[in-house]
A and B are shown apart, each in its own frame.
Chain A
């Protein structure tokens, strides 16, 4: 695998389910990001991690819970989501926080019923 990978690519869940999104980067980067992409809206930054430490939590509801066990892996744990949380969730990485070019994964298309 190369670049940034995300699993699953598609996820359908009910409002009472608990699920997790996984992101893995194979680039040796130190920073990782979660974004939410909704139709016709700018990308919304959700969380930023640097060397496994969270540096930004952009006013995201607590039903989204990130986890970064090491600099290569990033998870987004989901529980009791709402239909308006349906979106494409993108993971990205960059060399360091000061390096501004980000490399994106293919995203997870999430549908909340």
Chain B
């Protein structure tokens, strides 16, 4: 069975600095998607970034980038130039290509200090 593990329940970062959130997953599939979702306090969960497993190039979206290590089954999220609005719960998630079930990790709560 597929699993997603986020080993950091909480992280904090100073405004304008860089932080990396960790995620590992377990699967026997070779074709899948990985996601980072952001859930701000009392607001809707939104997709931050997505990575297709067949792509070797790491995905980037403005200040957000990932370090995808397929062999190690690791998928970390780097947030550069952190802003107060980045404070949220971040969920790492896995979905098999063509599947409908997305497996979520337990989340990492990110605090941003002014």
Contacts and interface: CB of A to CB of B under 8 A. Distances in A.
Interface of A: 3-4, 31, 40-43, 45, 48, 50, 55-56, 90, 97-98, 100-107
A104 B91 contact: no
Contacts of A102: 47, 102
Contacts of B46: 104
Most B-side CB within 10 Å, residue of A4, A45, A98, A102:
A102
20 contacts: A40-B9, A40-B106, A42-B91, A42-B107, A43-B91, A43-B104, A45-B101, A50-B100, A55-B100, A56-B100, A90-B45, A97-B99, A98-B98, A98-B100, A100-B33, A100-B50, A101-B47, A101-B50, A102-B47, A106-B43
Given A4-B44, A41-B106, A106-B43, 5 more contacts: A90-B45, A97-B99, A103-B47, A104-B44, A104-B45
Interface residues of B, number: 25
B43 A42 contact: no
Nearest to B101: A45
Top-3 shortest CB links A-B: A97-B100, A104-B45, A43-B104
Contacts of A100: 33, 35, 50, 95, 97, 99, 102
B3 to A, nearest CB: 9
Contacts of A103: 47
Given A97-B100, A98-B98, A42 B105 contact: yes
Contacts of A98: 98, 100
Interface in B31-87: 33, 35, 37, 42-47, 50
Contacts of A4: 44
Q: Of B100, B101, B105, which is in contact with the most chain A CB atoms at under 10 Å from its CB?
A: B100
Contacts of B110: none
B35 A101 contact: yes
A102 to B, nearest CB: 6
A102 B50 CA distance: 11
A67 to B, nearest CB: 19
B13 interface: no
B88 interface: no
